[in-house]
Amino acid sequence: MKYIIGFFSAIVLALIFILCPMQTETTVEYLRIHIRANSNSIEDQNVKYMVKDAIVEALIPILSDIESFDEAKKVVQSNFGLIENVANGVLKSEGFTYSSKADIRNEYFPSRTYENVTLEEGYYDALILELGDGVGDNWWCIVFPAFCFTKSQNFNNIVYISRIWEIIKSVT
């Protein structure tokens, strides 16, 4: 009996290694967002956060269901007008005379950690929203995967699938 169990275990392990190869590297493409303040003055930094709140609110319905990096990039590019109009509306309502400029650029960024996500240093595509001269400190987050732009943080409907159980079921 113990030989049968050992033989069955060996077959299951062999199937696992054949059908579920180990991954040594995970490649995730990130699209970042950087809102760069006009300067580091208190007023410019405060309005940057007001712009951030308005931009996030405007982009949530557009970006929350995006499923690929390329789609996220296209949606952002096609909404530069919306992004700039929202930012310029906040700037104008707060009495600022400068405007904003949206662009997507591939730029070098140092390592950053935001909550439980760490992006290693390197070159990333990013939505850059410059307010005025754009030389002040920035606010940043991740557009894709939709880290900052999700409709809900409700993760109660997650379904876990066991690949091992699927293999065992298919063999028996």
Mean pLDDT for 96-111 is: 93
Residue 52 CA to its chain's centroid (Å)? 15
What is the rounded CA–CA span in Å between residue 158 and residue 128? 33
What pLDDT does residue 1 have?
A: 55
Confidence of residue 13 (pLDDT cuts 50, 70, 90): very low
pLDDT in tens, 55-64: 989 988 888 7
**More confidently predicted of 30 and 14:** 30
**More confidently predicted of 63 and 28:** 63
Highest mean pLDDT among 16-30, 53-67, 96-110, 152-166: 96-110
Angstrom distances, CA of residue 94 to CA of 27, 36, 37, 46, 165: 42, 17, 14, 10, 59
Q: Choose the weakest-confidence range: 16-25, 49-58, 92-101.
A: 16-25
Is 82's pLDDT higher than 80?
A: yes
* Percent of the chain whose pLDDT exceeds 70: 67
Whether the model pTM is above 0.75: no
Which residue type is seen at 89?
G
How many Cα neighbours within 13 Å face the side chain of 127? 31
Contact indicator for 56, 149 with CB cutoff of 8 Å:
yes
